[in-house]
Every structure is written in structure tokens, then in C-alpha cells.
């Protein structure tokens, strides 16, 4: 099971255009985009829950890990 510890900060010295293209391909969004996609915390948490439920049903994620991810979503500040 995943532990509830914060990730270590990482500093990248890369070409910004390349990083943006890679982020878009991987589905990583800057905070401004997340705010547009999920105007409220409830919107964001619901999206995380739907994604988690789908991953659990397909066997890609354990339920206990999905619960932890949802807890992180609630604490993320996205949609505040």
C-alpha cells in the first residue's frame, strides 16, 4: 500500500516547450488548467473517485490505495 508521505521536490532544468508537450501527453496539468477543469473541490474529488473506481474494477488499483488517493484529492486544494 502507498504511504501517506509527501513526495520530495524535484527541480528540472529543461526546455519549457518540451516539458509542456510531455506534460500534456501524460495528462499532467498546471494549476490554472486544473482550476478550469474542476471549479469546485467536489468536481475534482468526483473525477478522482470515478477514475479510481474504474481502475479498481479493472484491477489496476487496490481499493485501499484508491481511498488514499481520494483522501489526497480532498487535501489538494484543487477547486477551492
Could you give the CA distance from residue 3 to residue 51 in angstroms, rounded to a whole number?
20
CB atoms < 10 A from the CB of 49, how many? Answer: 15
Among 21-25, 58-62, 67-71, which is the least confidently predicted range? Answer: 21-25
The domain spans of the chain are 29-75
Could you give the CA distance from residue 25 to residue 29 in angstroms, rounded to a whole number?
10
Computed on alpha carbons and rounded to an integer, the radius of gyration of the chain in Å comes to 14
Chain centre to alpha carbon of residue 80: 15
Answer yes or no: pTM beyond 0.85.
Answer: no
> Between 14 and 21, whose confidence is greater?
21
Amino acid at each position: 500500500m502507498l504511504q501517506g508521505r509527501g513526495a520530495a521536490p524535484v527541480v528540472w532544468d529543461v526546455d519549457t516547450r518540451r516539458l509542456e508537450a510531455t506534460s500534456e501527453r501524460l495528462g499532467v496539468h498546471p494549476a490554472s488548467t486544473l482550476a478550469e477543469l474542476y471549479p469546485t473541490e467536489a468536481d475534482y474529488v468526483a473525477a478522482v473517485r470515478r477514475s479510481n473506481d474504474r481502475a479498481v474494477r479493472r484491477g489496476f488499483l487496490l481499493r485501499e490505495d484508491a481511498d488514499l488517493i481520494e483522501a489526497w484529492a480532498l487535501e489538494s486544494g484543487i477547486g477551492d
